[in-house]
Amino acid sequence: MDRVYSLSVYETPTHFYIIGSDATESIFRTLKIDRITQNEFIVGEPNHDYSKADIGELLATVSSSSIVTPTEKWGRKRNSTVSTGGGLLRTLEKACGLIGAVRFLHGYYLLLVSKAKQICQIGNHSIFKVEDVSMIYLPSTSTPLPPEEQRYAKLFQTVDFTTNFYFSYTYKLSRTLQENSLAEKG
């Protein structure tokens, strides 16, 4: 699978699991992000494609071997967390892109495009505008975030990702039209 079009985020006390699928939702890939180590961003990506049945089995296995309670997000319970039964919680139902991870003072935050709108086509390539971004605190902790961390997180949230942020699954927006045209021909 070359591209991931849809993402779901699940959590256990020790890991976040990001499940990505192709456009037809028949082939899946996974990312496993460690929640225990606050000072390092530890990510595992098996070099393996999963079928829908395989991914269901994987999630059931993870769920049956974990006990989890919803983590807090900036001092309040997440309202988007849904139990899948057992010890696995679905933290984010659907995302259309992974922006990356950012760290301030204590632990990392995951940034995901939770809503996007197609705004144009360049040839056969769809271009999307970011409409909404979700920010998830990764470390597994029951203690409140220090005031400095909360301050930096709030400052970062003032960045408006909904204006002038675009992406494409198939077209490299960081290159010029000429470079992309030459790459397609060659």
What pLDDT score was predicted for residue 63? 84
Residue 143 lies in a domain: yes
* Gyration radius from the chain CA atoms: 18
Residue 1 lies in a domain: no
Total domain count, the chain: 1
Residue 149 lies in a domain: yes
What pLDDT score was predicted for residue 74? 40
Residue 77 lies in a domain: yes
- Region class of 75: left (phi > 0), else alpha (psi between -120 and 50), else beta: left
Dihedral angle over CA of 7, 10, 11, 12, nearest 10: -140
Residue 111 lies in a domain: yes
Question: Domain residues for 15?
Answer: 6-185
Residue 26 lies in a domain: yes
Provide the residue-wise pLDDT of the chain in tens; the chain has 186 residues.
678 889 999 998 889 999 999 989 899 999 999 988 888 888 998 888 999 999 999 888 888 876 555 554 443 334 445 544 557 787 878 899 999 999 999 889 999 999 999 999 998 899 999 999 999 998 887 778 889 999 999 999 999 988 889 999 999 999 998 888 888 776
Q: State both tokens at 56.
A: 């269901």
Residue 54 lies in a domain: yes
Residue 179 lies in a domain: yes
What pLDDT score was predicted for residue 70? 53
